[in-house]
Structure 1
């Protein structure tokens, strides 16, 4: 099995690109590049994080905020917000997949995305062609949501809970 069998296309909610949007190359200003590179390492924990970022990139707080808003609006940044470790907060999460018939894919996407416990999902070129993460307030709730998804979609959910966590410090410089 080679990696070409796992091509992905985001099909999630507002934090993901729509199926109809093609991958586009965009020209970024020096400020935009600096912000994207810097923000991948997180926001400073202080009263005015954008002012501190502005100082680091030789700009103004207002310009930084406007630039981040522009990058979000133009979908250069598809997500901008905190990342929480559900398990350390007492919650739970699992990776899940469905084998969705192609003719039902759009309907099942809507059904899965209707659950508040699903942030987004991805289309894959594989028998299990829809993958998503279920995040809940408790481990017990995971199984409940899996059952509800199975009832709503009339499809069997492949539940793939994490056995061990590996930290990958992904950084994509622009």
Structure 2
């Protein structure tokens, strides 16, 4: 069962997080609680794995370069390779798919040169080739969801 403050934070700030030097203080003022209460609530939500991060979603290739990358990795080596790939700070999502190309990830870098260097390093470190899948069309999927606040 979520506390009322937790519900409000999850429901009201998925997409309208304040863009200011003091976003947590701004949220606290909007909700009539202290900044510490907001910070503690977000910490609790993180510990309970209700949220994984607080940060912006930036359109692909509007800042730097990004690419979807796929790899065909033998099942026996998948966990090792996935862990290695996930360790790169440039890797955004890394997930398994049921396909010959069973490891997919999004890579973001400050330049095309940096992007290609990271891909080359991943190939060297894992011992497997990658398949670069450049974005041909941009689709926006709103992943926000409304919580039932009347439990």
Q: Same fold (TM over 0.5)?
A: yes
Residue in 2 that maps onto 1:70? 44
Take 1:79 and 1:156, find their aligned partners in 2: how far apart are those partners?
A: 30
In the alignment, structure 1 residue 88 sits paired with structure 2 residue 62 = yes
Take 1:99 and 1:117, find their aligned partners in 2: how far apart are those partners?
A: 20
The alignment covers a number of residue pairs equal to 147
Take 1:95 and 1:60, find their aligned partners in 2: how far apart are those partners?
A: 41
CA gap 1:153/1:47 in 2 versus in 1, 3 angstroms = closer
Question: Normalising to structure 2: TM-score of the pair?
Answer: 0.84
Residue in 2 that maps onto 1:148? 121
Runs ≥4 residues deviating over 6 A: none
CA contact (8 A) 1:35 1:57 kept: no
CA gap 1:99/1:33 in 2 versus in 1, 3 angstroms = same
Take 2:21 and 2:126, find their aligned partners in 1: how far apart are those partners?
A: 45
Farther-moved stretch of structure 1 (158-167 vs 42-51) = 42-51
Residue in 2 that maps onto 1:162? 135
Q: Secondary structure at the match of 1:54?
A: helix
Alignment of 1:23-172 (within 5 A): 27-85=1-59, 87-89=61-63, 91-172=64-145
Q: Which has the higher contact order (CA 8 A, sep 6+)?
A: 1
How large is the RMSD of aligned CA atoms in angstroms? 1.9
- Give the CA deviation at 1:44: 1.2
List runs of 5+ in structure 1 lacking aligned partners: 1-26
Question: Normalising to structure 1: TM-score of the pair?
Answer: 0.74
Alignment of 1:12-31 (within 5 A): 27-31=1-5
